[in-house]
Structure 1
Amino acid sequence: MWLNKINFRIFYTFLFLGSCFLITNLFSCKEDKKVIKQTEIVFKKEGELTIHKVSDSTEIKLDIEIADTEFDEQTGLMYRESMDKNQAMLFVFEDESERYFYMKNTKIPLDILYINANKTIVSFQKNTKPFDESSLPSNAPAKYVLEVNAGLADTWGLAIGDSISYQ
């Protein structure tokens, strides 16, 4: 009989201590949340692009990063914190067709220039809103898409019919 009382005491003591240990660990885990810091994506100059204005023969020179792989086309300027005024991203597609872009995970407001196979600007989407997932169509066949900081298309006085060259 006294053996059963000791076994019950030991059992309840272990049960109590085990419960305390479990509760303590559950609450301490919530306080130890790890913050995962995203790696900063920096601009990588892969070429130079010139915009040729038809109206006054002005040329605008830009350093460009080129998106010509499926991964680059899917991510574009997503997750970037900023981009210099003289920098841009040029998307180069294999075919010329109507394009649809959106601003998912894109922190920088942009002007999007749609450019045909002849390297002539055919349409714009200006002052796009960061993180907006609405479709931004080209409304005309495009082989190239150039993304620059929002407001620059107006600042530079760009128009449909202006052209680009790049290397």
Structure 2
Amino acid sequence: MVRLLLGLVAALILGLASAQAEPLVIHAGGSAYKFEVEVVTTPETRAQGLMYRKSMAANAGMLFIYPGEQAVSFWMKNTLIPLDMLFLKADGSIAHIAHSAVPLDETPIDSGAAVKAVLEVNGGTAAALGIKEGDRVEYPDRPSR
């Protein structure tokens, strides 16, 4: 039974890891930073997120898209790498940034506002690139304006 469960978890992780990446651009400080992100839109894929991943490429991330704007809360349970969480309004503007969320921490990280999407990138990325609240993100579900 344990072996079967571990096999299912591994299959799920490998399935997410091999998901097709989609382009995303963060516009900050007069620059455009390009990322390749996995887009998750279902409750099941949002629940899994980046759990159990041991690393992520510098220009990679995961984009959680919700059906409408809503307050959301994340945690780092079973997440092994530090993450920056960018909480995005429907217009693509960054409402809030949670910097360098601590791996395995179960403390809730709230959006602070109703958001349409959340972008997770490697911890420290937002600070290193000068990304701030109010900057804009152009992502697959929301074309640029």
SS at structure 2 position matched to 1:127: strand
Instruction: Mark the structure with the bigger radius of gyration.
Output: 1
Q: Give 2:26's aligned residue.
A: 51
Deviation at 1:46, TM superposition (A): 3.0
Determine what percentage of the aligned residue pairs are the same residue. 36
Name the residue aligned to 1:105: 78
User: Residue 126 of structure 2 corresponds to which residue in structure 1?
Assistant: 153
Mapped to 2, the partners of 1:68 and 1:139 lie a distance apart of 21
| Stretches of structure 1 lacking an aligned partner (at least 5 in a row) | 1-33
**Equivalences for residues 43-122 of structure 1 within 5 A:** 43-53=18-28, 55=29, 57-122=30-95
Structure 2 residue runs without a partner (length 5+)? 141-145
* Residue aligned with 2:132, SS: coil
Secondary structure of the 1:104 match is coil
Asked if the contact 1:80/1:106 (under 8 Å) is kept, the reply is yes
Residue 109 of structure 2 corresponds to: 136
Q: Shift in Å at residue 96 of structure 1? A: 0.6
TM-score by length of 1: 0.74
State the one-letter code of the partner of 1:64: V
Distance in 1 between residues matched to 2:66 and 2:21, nearest whole Å: 16
Q: Number of aligned residue pairs: give it.
A: 131
Q: Distance in 1 between matches of 2:69 and 2:27?
A: 21
The 1:127–1:45 alpha-carbon spacing in structure 2 relative to 1, beyond 3 Å, is: same
Structure-2-length-normalised TM-score: 0.84
What's the offset of the Cα at 1:44?
A: 2.7
Q: Which has the higher contact order (CA 8 A, sep 6+)?
A: 2
Instruction: Say which structure is richer in helix.
Output: 1
Alpha-carbon distance, 1:161 to partner: 0.9
Letter in 2 for 1:52: H
Aligned twin of 2:143: none
Q: Quote the Cα distance in structure 2 between the aligned partners of 1:70 and 1:98.
A: 15
